[in-house]
Amino acid sequence: MDFKADSSDEKLSESGTSSEESMEKLMDMYDESFKRFQEGEVVSGKVISIDKDYVLVDIGYKSEGQIKIHEFKDENGNGKINVTPGDTVEVMVEWWDDEEERVILSKEKAEKVKVWDDIKKAHDSDGTTEGVILSRVKGGFSVDIGVQAFLPGSQADLRPIRNLDELVGKTFAFKILKYNRKRSNVVLSRRAILEQDRDSKRTATLSSITEGKVSEGFVKNITEYGVFVDLGGVDGLLHITDISWGRIKHPAEMFAVGDKIQVKILSIDKEKERVSLGMKQLVEDPWISASEKYPIGARVTGKVVSLTDYGAFVELEEGIEGLIHVSEMSWARKIRHPSKIFSVGEMVESVVLDIKPENRRISLGVKQVVPNPWDIISENYPVGTTIEGKVKNITDFGIFVGIDEGIDGLIHISDISWTKRIKHPSELYKKGDVIQAVVLAIEKENERFSLGIKQLQKDPWETVSTRYAVGKEIVGTITNVTDFGIFVELEEGIEGLVHVSEISKEKIKTPVGKYNVGDGITAKVMNINSAERRIGLSIKRLQMENDQNLLTDYINNMKPATSAFGEILRENLQEKLNGE
């Protein structure tokens, strides 16, 4: 009995002790559950109810926590609440009062705490975070990654961006370069991600491309000497000479940055990571079949692409150009510069004169499209024909007269007049005058057409001997006085020369100073040479003849001699007269 009693008492004692301990433990656990909440702590809770001002959230406290309703409204401003009872949300304990059993929570602050945790995690693990570029600021951009961050302009892309505004409003992934939570300062880099992506692509591209392979790429940059093409992390140079078989002044004529193009790998230097590209190599060289397409004598049509002093380059097709030399532009005209008859962009018809595919040259001619006027000029204008034309040009040596076929005839200064002394043709003619002339000669091989004006009339020298017989006394006007003689005009264009030895019976060294231009003079015709157009005159012979005539008259009029002396004197005078 005692044993039982004692045993029962022990059990009752043990049971009481156990209940007290359990109660204490429960009370401790109850108290501890509320102590673990601290201001600024982020906890999970379940939405219990929603009213017009607050959202009530159970976070395990003896009363629900309150969150202002505006923290759950859509950002677009339509007033819609984006939470429902039963949802689990992360919140921050802003303030709590145990006595009033009241807890103030914040969903927005909890999110910011989480953002900073994500920022730290991304920074420490070399990870990335996503954000939206909000606006341009000094030195770069403002980016929303949950908190406002700064993206320097130099970290926005791999290369400088011309239009910075084109990035605003776009979402990108960023690296966290550095952050300071206390100062709410975060610096981002998009370039670091692009560089990593480029490096990985470069490695893959360099291992996959081979010489001769055709690849696709994007035009990255355009210069005057070529185009840089992004093949996938590797930039290749498409030189201007490898863009087209044809003529290109600047690559910008064919490409724009961002264009997707096909190219052929010409060469690779993997150590220096240099790749040479070609586009024209994707098609066959047009010169391979040029001889068949453009045989000698064929008529072709092309576009004038360039003008030089010596000719015009004509594009027959892409990659094939022919040269029309300035000498092959006209049968008759002397072309000073091709621009006088052609302009860049003009379509012209020509004839293939020669082709040398090995030298990539084609010689063309335009004048061969029409008949050579020199082939028919002699038929239309035989020698001796009188023609009429307009004076096109006047030079020191003659006059050029236009003919219908585009040929200019030359009237040499010596063929303008039989008799006039002409210093310059402009004394008699001017541009635009319509004149008549006689065809004197046609030299097809030298392309010369000679005309004459004086041949319209008979040469006055042919009949000069009938008008001025030798021995005839003439009267003329002095036109020129020189040391060797005096020139005397007998009629218009006909002059005679009194040589210094034929001026006087007395010896004179020069007539200059003794005779004047314009003075009238009487002389005797001594000789005539019509072929050489010369008339020799003498004043001295005329004087001597006049003296002789006077002496003869004197003798004939003398009375008979009255003495022997008179008879002797008369005989001497007669002998002297006869001797002269």
β-partners of residue 261 are 217
Class of 286-369 in CATH: mainly beta
| Structure tokens belonging to residue 294 | 């453009």
Q: With beta carbons less than 8 A apart as the criterion, state whether 94 and 23 touch.
A: no
Fold of 373-456: OB fold (Dihydrolipoamide Acetyltransferase, E2P) (2.40.50)
Report the alpha-carbon distance of residue 573 to residue 557 in Å, rounded. 13
Position 35 scores a pLDDT of 47
Of the candidates 315, 390, 310, 309, the residue with the CA atom closest to the CA atom of residue 347 = 315
At the fourth CATH level, the homologous superfamily of domain 460-538 is Nucleic acid-binding proteins (2.40.50.140)
Neighbours of 365 (CB within 10 A): 17
* Residue type at 247 in one-letter notation: R
pLDDT, tens digit only, all 580 positions of the chain: 343 444 444 443 444 455 666 666 655 555 555 445 666 677 878 888 888 888 888 887 666 788 888 777 766 656 677 778 888 887 877 776 656 667 777 777 787 778 888 888 888 898 999 999 999 999 999 999 888 999 999 999 887 787 888 899 999 999 999 999 888 899 999 999 988 888 888 777 777 888 889 988 999 899 999 999 988 878 899 999 999 888 888 999 899 998 999 999 999 887 787 899 999 999 889 999 999 999 999 999 999 999 999 999 999 998 899 999 999 998 877 888 999 999 999 999 999 999 999 999 999 999 999 888 888 888 888 899 999 999 999 999 999 998 876 788 999 999 998 878 788 999 999 999 999 999 999 988 888 889 999 989 888 888 888 888 898 998 999 999 999 999 998 887 788 999 999 988 888 889 998 899 999 999 999 999 988 889 999 998 888 887 777 767 666 776 555 556 556 656 665 665 555 4
Write down the CATH number for the domain with range 126-194. 2.40.50.140
What CA–CA distance (Å, rounded) separates 40 from 92?
A: 6
Domain ranges across the chain: 42-111, 126-194, 209-282, 286-369, 373-456, 460-538, 547-579
The residues that bridge with 411 in the sheet, in sequence order, are 399, 451
Please state the separation of Cα 573 from the chain's center in Å. Answer: 102
User: 42-111 adopts what CATH topology?
Assistant: OB fold (Dihydrolipoamide Acetyltransferase, E2P) (2.40.50)
Q: Quick one: how far is CA 277 from the chain centroid?
A: 25
Q: What is the pLDDT of residue 169?
A: 92
Stated pTM of the model: 0.46
Beta bridge partners of 485: 482, 499
pLDDT at residue 245, as a whole number: 87
Structure-derived torsion over alpha carbons of residues 116, 120, 123, 128, reported in degrees to the nearest 10: -50
Q: Identify the residue whose tokens are 């008259």.
A: 553
- pLDDT for 364 equals 96
User: Same CATH topology for 209-282 and 286-369?
Assistant: yes
8-state DSSP, 538: E
Name which CATH class applies to 209-282. Answer: mainly beta
> 402: which strand partners?
390, 408
What secondary structure letter does DSSP report for 407? P
What whole-number distance in Å separates Cα of residue 406 and Cα of residue 380? Answer: 13
